[in-house]
Amino acid sequence: MMDQSPLVSVIIPCYNNYNEPYLRECFNSIKQQTYSNIEVIVIDDGSENKASDLLIKLGEEYHFIFEKQVNKGISGALNTGIRNHAKGKYIAMMGSDDYWVSSKIETQVKYMESINDKIAACCTWGYFIYENDVSKPTPRLTKLLKSTDLTFSALLKFNNIMQISVMIRANVFKEIGLFDERSVVEDWDMWLRITDRYEFGYIPEPLVYYRRHSDNLSNYFEKLYNSMKYILNKWKEKEGQKQSLNHVEITAINYFARDRKLKALKIALANFQCADKRLYWRGILKIFVPKFLYIKK
């Protein structure tokens, strides 16, 4: 009997992941979903040969669709998966070393099928798993999202959505376009574009596990900083845009003040309009504190 449930396309970008236990945990969590009508698409984003060989070996076992491309970043890998392979009514995204609760897809499909088309995507709560940090419990529940956190104006201020928790109606991409390959915070950009025209739903259950370690993008602040400014500049006409941009600049001053003091000073001088904020002056003070006085945590 043909499965009448809607197909879900799960896209997994992968770049130089040599950790077979993490990969297996990822693929097993999809294989063990209580929802069966799933296609898994793995995009190797220009990995070195040994990492690609590992994916090919695992592909023979887990039977996923596989494509290797030149390195384009996460955005480019997601776009390749959507453009070249995805046939599902819904699109879900997974990190290659993250994993899901077994009911994740089933829960989201039931939700999306039961609501109107104004809700273009939905997300869930989730857990962070911290690697090599005994000071933090693992797993640790992330912020408990509310519907008020998922409006355009709220997301313009701060992105609380875990990408691996999201499910999107595939037809939405035809209207708003695919992920912006000029940005390394492709998820935040996409959530803003979605909520500018649609609504974002959520399921108040922790259904995903996101692994945090030294290779996470949040550790590469310069790229993050430039991408956040680029994204915010798309929304100059929106209320709250200037405040969000000022927050990014103040954060950058404080971040760069420890190791890249000249850069921090240049950002501070270019953003004197933020001088009414306490964190602005905290950053200025940090610029003039010698680097050796900082205690490494």
Instruction: Report pTM.
Output: 0.91
Q: CA 48, CA 46: separation in Å to the nearest integer? A: 7
Where in the chain are all domains bearing CATH 3.90.550.10? 8-212
Per-residue pLDDT averaged across 23-28, rounded? Answer: 97
Contact 94, 10 (CB under 8 A): yes
Q: Nearest Cα to 39, choosing from 80, 107, 86, 99?
A: 86
- For 243, the 3-state DSSP assignment is helix
Examine the pLDDT at 32 and tell me if it is beyond 90. Answer: yes
- Contact status, residue 204 vs residue 144, Cβ threshold 8 Å: yes
Cβ 194 vs Cβ 236: under 8 Å: no
What is the pLDDT at residue 3? Answer: 62
As a CATH number, domain 8-212 is: 3.90.550.10
Share of the chain above pLDDT 70, in %: 94
Instruction: Categorize the per-residue pLDDT at 74 as very low, low, confident or very high, splitting at 50, 70 and 90.
Output: very high
Average pLDDT of span 75-82: 98
pLDDT tens for 163-182 read 999 999 999 999 999 999 99
101-119 tens-digit pLDDT = 999 999 999 999 999 999 9
Tens-digit pLDDT profile for residues 270-279: 999 999 999 9
Average pLDDT over residues 272-292: 91
- The DSSP-derived string for 253-272 is HHHHTTT-HHHHHHHHHHTG
91-96: average pLDDT: 97
Tell me the per-residue pLDDT of 207-261, one tens digit each, with 9 for 90 and over.
999 998 755 544 588 899 999 999 999 999 999 999 999 999 999 999 999 889 9
pLDDT category of residue 297 using cuts at 50, 70 and 90:
very low
| Contact present, 124 and 207 (Cβ < 8 Å) | yes
State the chain's mean pLDDT as an integer: 92
Strand 119-130 and strand 199-212: pairing?
parallel
Q: Which residues of 220-246 are buried (b: 16+ CB within 10 A; e: fewer)?
A: eeeebbebbeebbeebeeeeebeebbb
C-alpha count within 13 angstroms, C-beta hemisphere, residue 160? 21
Q: What is the pLDDT of residue 215?
A: 53
Q: How confident is the model at residue 87 (pLDDT cuts 50, 70, 90)?
A: very high
